[in-house]
Amino acid sequence: MKRLPMAVRGALVLALAIVGFPDDADAAGNRACALLTPAEIQEALGAKVSGLDGGGAQGDAAICTGNIPTGKVMLRTATRKAGEERNIEAEGIKIAEKMGAKVEVKTFGAITCSTLIPSKSMEELGFNTTCAVLKGTRVGAVEVTAKAQKDMVPIEKLRPLAEKIADRL
């Protein structure tokens, strides 16, 4: 497996920070997997979801991953600490753009959605669409990473899923 350059790994860490990190892991189960059902995701994307399951907590973040024929789906949930700086999202976008990625961000109230088209040299990382919602200190997100740009999920398809997540946080 090709090792990612330090700058790329740094940008990915910042991108993950967009949804923050929880103060605690849910011992009763993975809260990320409870954000959406496979049927809800399938209805929105028009693609069958398989293997949607959580690895518990990865670090401090609750993450749940699954597959669709054209890529991967990830659900995340976290708790932001009170007073945590909010400009980390903008910093992550700047780093991605400096690395040649094309980033588009749209905000709908408490929901922030983005698409990331990597530079040619980073296409192996995939073409990403993410919608995250902040409700109080809780953050939930749905992310789809496609193998090819033609298979990217438009923000308009993920936004309704983020609205469901907002109701469940």
Q: What is the pLDDT, as a whole number, of residue 78?
A: 87
Of 108, 80, 110, nearest to 18 by C-alpha is 80
Which CATH number is 154's domain given?
A: 3.40.1000
Place of tokens 């040619």: 120
The token duo for 42 is: 């399938």
Residue 62 belongs to what domain range? 6-168
What confidence category does residue 94 fall into, taking pLDDT thresholds of 50, 70 and 90? Answer: confident
Q: What is the pLDDT, as a whole number, of residue 54?
A: 74
- Residue 38: inside a domain, yes or no? yes
Among the residue ranges 5-14, 48-57, 65-74, 109-118, the one predicted with the least confidence is: 5-14
Q: What is the pLDDT, as a whole number, of residue 87?
A: 58
Question: What are the φ and ψ backbone dihedral angles of 75, each rounded to 5 degrees?
Answer: -110, 140
Q: What is the pLDDT, as a whole number, of residue 60?
A: 58
- Residue 151: inside a domain, yes or no? yes
State the DSSP H helix or E strand holding residue 116, giving kind and residue range, or none if neither.
Answer: strand 111-117
> Is it the case that residue 124 has pLDDT exceeding 80?
yes
